[in-house]
Amino acid sequence: MALMISVSGIRGIFGTHLTPENLVNFTAAYGTWLDGGTVVVGRDSRVTGQICEDIVCATLQSTGCNVVKAGITPTPTVAMGVLKHNAAGGIILTASHNPEEWNALKLLNHKSEFLDAEQGEQVLDLAKKGTFTYQKYNKIGSISKDDEITNYHIQKILDLPYIDAEKIKENNYKVAVDAVNGGASIALPKMLEALGVKVERIHCEPNGIFPHNPEPLPENLHDICTYVKQNNCDLGIVTDPDGDRLALVDENGKFFGEEYTQVAAFDFMLSKNLGDTATNLSSSRAANDITQKYNQTCHRAAVGEINVVKVMQKEGAVISGEGNGGVINPDLHPGRDSLVGSAMILQLLAEREISASGYRNSLPDYEMSKQKIELKNLGVDADELLNEVAEAYKNEKVNRTDGVKIDFEEGWVHFRKSNTEPIVRVYSEAKTKDEAEKLAASVISLIQ
């Protein structure tokens, strides 16, 4: 697969498509776009992280930016570092849930948000043109290291008015953590211990060697599911390599469901601070249900973290997230954060005096199906196909914000074109997996 270039950064297999030249090119474009100022740079634990960090930091210095190195740390901690240092931006070196041979640049603005479409296009345009501003020897940027960013992040979580460390500590929780040997291997257990939790570490050596597929999906989490049950843990917590996504395992070793991380976060936040919520179009209807329980509105955005953040800000939502295990708490920073998500979940369980399984069983239950349509055999492009779907179901509740989403009484189907492959992704949801698959099949058969 070739280098993946988007408004939020670049991603590829190091040494094949992600090369030192590419790193210099895009970093120089970003530094030129910032026109100086401080940039916080952090990375996950990948083996190539150190060399990428060296290249990126030197390039930023050459464009006149002052660099603050955060070292191996979660993506949300870098975001907090941007706020701490009142920085012009931030760079996280991580390929998220991609395998260990991958690496990437993720770019933040001065608000610690991922670049939006307009900002990203400006950086990409500079990269394409190669019009970089390099400084003379007496104006190059400085470089320093901040070893306290993780502690700063943790303290800001503890300072939230609805997080009561003593209340959590009273429950003597034992929690297993699988950080897939990634960027949250140190920070997440440290935060949990600050809440008085006994932590059982699984795959928490930040060496960049992932012991299983690093995406926090049920088929990849056999180790922690077994461990939680055999060792009488109250909860299992799983992150991806850069620590922004959060998945949960109940005390019986059963996967909580990645869609339900944000649902639980919504439930907790709305019990403390009434207001609207926001999520993306492909997230579970359970997000609507839990929001409506508090007589509030759940707003839907195009898929993509920054799109959710923008809708959250526009609508004044008090909490947002994504169904992939993303919790976005604007009281902390405008990005997904497994650390604050974990604290919120533990606070909820402690206050309601309920087990993880008992709480999960109290939530509305839905099942999803995820399929794809290969376009090469249909003789149409993605836009044509999406238009056909919208026309065929024009009498239903149709949303064209991001592809085509059709809301039926019994569930929904969402068609989105891929940015990297000649396919259309088809997500559907209903009360059971079989019903979700049948719902998607009925739409697909009509257009085929």
The residues annotated with a catalytic role in the active site are 96
Q: What's the rounded Cα separation, in Å, for the pair 216 and 392?
A: 36
Q: What's the rounded Cα separation, in Å, for the pair 267 and 265?
A: 5
Q: What's the rounded Cα separation, in Å, for the pair 366 and 372?
A: 20
- Amino acid in the structure at residue 284: S
Pairing state of beta strands 397-399 and 404-407?
antiparallel
CA 334-155-74 angle, 5° bins: 55
What six digits make up the tokens of 419?
Answer: 């940015």
DSSP result, 32-90: HHHTSEEEEEEE-S-TTHHHHHHHHHHHHHHTTEEEEEEEE--HHHHHHHHHHTT-SEE
Q: What's the rounded Cα separation, in Å, for the pair 141 and 150?
A: 24
Q: What's the rounded Cα separation, in Å, for the pair 424 and 232?
A: 43
Contact criterion met (CB below 8 Å) for 42 and 75: yes
Taking Cα atoms as reference points, which of 44, 29, 150 lies closest to residue 95?
A: 44
* Cα atoms in the 13 Å half-sphere on the side-chain side of 421: 9
Helix, strand, coil shares of the chain as percentages rounded to 5?
A: 40, 25, 35
What six digits make up the tokens of 439?
Answer: 């719902």
Q: What's the rounded Cα separation, in Å, for the pair 8 and 12?
A: 13
Question: What Cα–Cα distance (Å) separates residue 73 from each residue in 57, 94, 256?
Answer: 16, 10, 25
Residue 180: how many CB atoms within 10 A of its CB?
A: 33
The torsion defined by the Cα of 429, 435, 440 and 441, in degrees rounded to 10, comes to 170
Question: For 9, phi and psi rounded to 5 degrees?
Answer: 150, -160
